[in-house]
């Protein structure tokens, strides 16, 4: 039998998988986190970092629409010429391998621009350095593990037809158009299918972050807003659905769960704190009471909550379960977006405000005191749903259609929830 400490630790971790926006726990358990909240498990894990060079192009810029039009024209030509060759299923091939399938691989990569056009006619069956380099570039553009080997996930991506890729590009054209409307020089762009966030200033990526987005049954909304406030060491206000389904059943067995989770109870939102011993929790109406988790390491929001006005009641935040950022498919929330190494972003958001710097932020976080900070230079934030986009270097990127929206005409708003049935 699990000891009490293990049970509480597991419950605290589970709290972090819920959405404060929709007020529901994510259905995927902490135990199977590598599988994510939807299909496309071949997507590679990526690294959060400050970008130290100019070689990394933002996912979206004011020029993205024109770049998409050019890509569509190019793929239309590819389709008109009959598409690209199919690659027969094979064992894993690596640099140095000799196999007739390598010939088809070279032609396939050249057809999409990842190898020089001369490879369309080359007949060598050797997996040479140039082919390795081209395959790595292809894998990066498709969100795959960039190992430069022809493995099963890469073969699956290569098997997608030119017609399908063209359709994906066309499905994303109106989304790109919407995403760049009145886009300024400084913005945060969250691409749900890529589960990544760009902090961009004057066309340069300052930092790129892994994020955790809504699972397919509780998708993140697509929105346009401005970041206006940061809450350091925030409270977590438990939604009624969480109280009913998860907290109350434990509370009926033992009041100690309130101490373990550092939760206080109030008589209504904004009402006086109550003594939980004075309530019969087996008959109490959970909608009457406000359950509030205090700031701390176990808090579901962890060290910071990033606010921006929106009708979906979602926000971005830190998380105590940081290991989830190592997954390739990061769809574990119920709508809100969790950010890896979030204080790279909070520092960037507050860098023009006097007395705020990384040291001050860490000091405030370490204090554990609730601290609210208005962002004096409200920064644009956009959640986008792009399964295809083109970066400034001309590379066309594709990602899995996690919410099954391509071909539906979806551009912005709340995606419909998908169910296993």
pLDDT digits (tens, 9 = 90+) for 62-107: 999 999 999 999 999 999 999 999 999 999 999 999 999 999 999 9
- Percent of the chain surpassing pLDDT 90: 76
* Distance in angstroms (rounded) separating the CA atoms of residues 421 and 315: 29
**What pLDDT score does 132 carry?**
97
DSSP 150: B
Which of residues 97 and 31 earns the better pLDDT score?
A: 97
Residues 6+ apart with CB under 8 A from 33: 323, 324, 327, 332
Q: Is the pLDDT of residue 339 over 70?
A: yes
The three-state DSSP-derived secondary structure of 91-113 is: CCECCCCECCHHHHHHHHHHHCC
Mean pLDDT of 338-367: 96
* Cα gap 287→272, rounded to integer Å: 15
CB atoms within 10 A of CB 318: 25
**Interacting residues of 39 by C-beta distance below 8 A, sequence separation 6+:** 216, 329, 400, 402
> What is the average per-residue pLDDT within 371-383?
97
Give me 28's structure tokens.
Answer: 């995927």
> What token pair was written down for 56?
């990394």
In tens, the pLDDT along 243-291 reads: 888 899 999 999 998 988 899 999 999 999 999 999 999 999 989 999 9
Tell me the average pLDDT of the chain: 88
Task: Tell me how many degrees the CA angle 398-113-154 measures, rounded to the nearest 5.
Answer: 50
Mean pLDDT of 310-324: 93
pLDDT of 4 reads: 52
- Model confidence at 13, pLDDT cuts 50, 70, 90, reads very low
Token couple for 67: 């770049």
Q: What is the mean pLDDT of residues 18-28?
A: 36
Q: Please, where are the H alpha helices in 124-216?
A: 129-141, 152-158, 162-179
Rounded to whole angstroms, what are the CA distances from 383 to 175, 315, 351?
11, 11, 23
Summarised one tens digit per residue, pLDDT across range 119-153 is 998 778 999 999 999 999 999 999 999 999 999 99
pLDDT per residue over 42-53, tens digit each?
677 778 888 866
Tokens of residue 302, six digits: 């962890």
Whole-number Å distance between alpha carbons of 243 and 251: 10
**What is the reported pLDDT for 420?**
57
Can you give the pLDDT at residue 166?
A: 98
Helices (H), 180-263: 240-242, 248-251, 256-260
From 10-19, 113-122, 330-339, the region with the lowest mean pLDDT: 10-19
DSSP code of residue 413: B
């Amino acid at each position: 039998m699990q000891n009490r400490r293990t049970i509480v630790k597991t419950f605290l971790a589970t709290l972090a998988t819920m959405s404060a926006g929709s007020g529901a726990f994510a259905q995927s358990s902490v135990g199977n986190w590598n599988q994510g909240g939807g299909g496309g498990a071949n997507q590679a894990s990526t690294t959060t970092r400050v970008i130290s060079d100019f070689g990394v192009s933002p996912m979206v810029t004011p020029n993205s629409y024109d770049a998409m039009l050019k890509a569509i024209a190019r793929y239309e030509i590819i389709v008109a010429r009959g598409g690209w060759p199919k690659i027969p299923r094979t064992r894993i091939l690596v640099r140095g391998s000799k196999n007739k399938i390598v010939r088809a691989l070279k032609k396939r990569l050249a057809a999409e621009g990842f190898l020089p056009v001369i490879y369309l006619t080359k007949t060598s069956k050797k997996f040479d350095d140039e082919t390795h380099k081209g395959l790595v570039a292809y894998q990066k553009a498709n969100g795959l593990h960039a190992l430069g080997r022809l493995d099963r996930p890469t073969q699956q991506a290569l098997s997608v037809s030119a017609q399908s890729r063209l359709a994906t590009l066309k499905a994303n054209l109106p989304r790109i158009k919407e995403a760049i409307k009145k886009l300024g020089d400084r913005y945060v762009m969250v691409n749900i299918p890529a589960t990544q966030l760009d902090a961009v200033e004057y066309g340069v990526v300052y930092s790129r972050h892994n994020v955790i987005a809504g699972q397919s049954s509780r998708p993140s909304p697509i929105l346009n807003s401005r970041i206006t406030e940061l809450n350091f060491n925030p409270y977590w206000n438990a939604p009624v659905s969480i109280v009913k389904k998860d907290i109350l059943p434990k509370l009926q067995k033992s009041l100690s769960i309130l101490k373990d989770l550092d939760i206080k109870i109030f008589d209504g939102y904004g009402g006086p704190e109550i003594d939980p011993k004075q309530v019969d929790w087996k008959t109490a109406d959970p909608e009457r009471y406000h359950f509030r988790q205090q700031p701390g390491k176990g808090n579901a929001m962890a060290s910071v909550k990033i606010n921006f006005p929106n009708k979906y009641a979602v926000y971005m935040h830190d998380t105590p379960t940081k290991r989830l950022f190592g997954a390739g498919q990061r769809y574990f929330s119920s709508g809100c977006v969790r950010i890896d190494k979030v204080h790279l972003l909070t520092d960037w958001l507050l860098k023009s405000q006097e007395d705020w710097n990384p040291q001050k932020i860490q000091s405030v976080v370490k204090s554990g005191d609730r601290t609210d900070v208005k962002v004096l230079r409200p920064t644009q934030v956009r959640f986008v749903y792009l399964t295809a986009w083109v970066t400034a270097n001309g590379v066309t990127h594709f990602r899995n259609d996690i919410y099954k929206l391509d071909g539906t005409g979806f551009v912005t708003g709340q995606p419909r929830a998908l169910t296993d049935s």
